[in-house]
Amino acid sequence: MTTAADVIVLPNNKNIVPVALQVDALTTKTVRVVSTRGIAEGFAALVAYDPDARADPNALDMQKAAEAVVAGEVTRAVRDSTADGVAITTGDWLGIARDGIKVVDQSLSDAVTRLLGELVDPDHELVTLVEGEGASVGDTRHVTEWLHENHPDLAVEVHHGGQPLYPYLIGIE
């Protein structure tokens, strides 16, 4: 329950967006949905949030910020399979972007750096790493050192999110 007249919902999951879009019709409050598909997009949207703005302009600015993020995530394969002709073995680390699996690697930190190699371009200014369960100090150090060596102009932020199943969530802006 909130006393606010305006509410902005960040689903942070592409499967929840359609449900969130129905909330406005179920309440007397003004509810706007910023169609975030993951935590990285949600972070960017929150940074754009203006507590003094009304729902519509706020949601528009937040949606633009979310859409500007290049999102990635790293998780572990739970079964043998293939993706685009590449064999995946149970326990492999998968680097995933919006358009699917980009990287398969036996090393967590290598999967993260290879995914970053696929996603970072010269126009980017910031990489945000959200550490989850399974991330280690050594892996994070390996990734941040790789970023500083290969993209010295990028700012890097590391946050502890503690999320299960995804040792690293990545937002690139």
Q: Which residues contact 127 (CB under 8 A, 6 or more apart)?
A: 116, 120, 147, 151, 154, 155, 156, 157, 170, 171, 172
Q: Quick check: 25 pLDDT over 90?
A: yes
Select from 46, 44, 37, 34 the least CA-distant residue to 14: 37
pTM of the model as a whole: 0.88
3-state secondary structure of 139: helix
**What pLDDT does 86 receive?**
87
**What pLDDT does 142 receive?**
98
* Domains within the chain, CATH numbers bracketed: 6-68 (no CATH), 70-172 (3.30.1180)
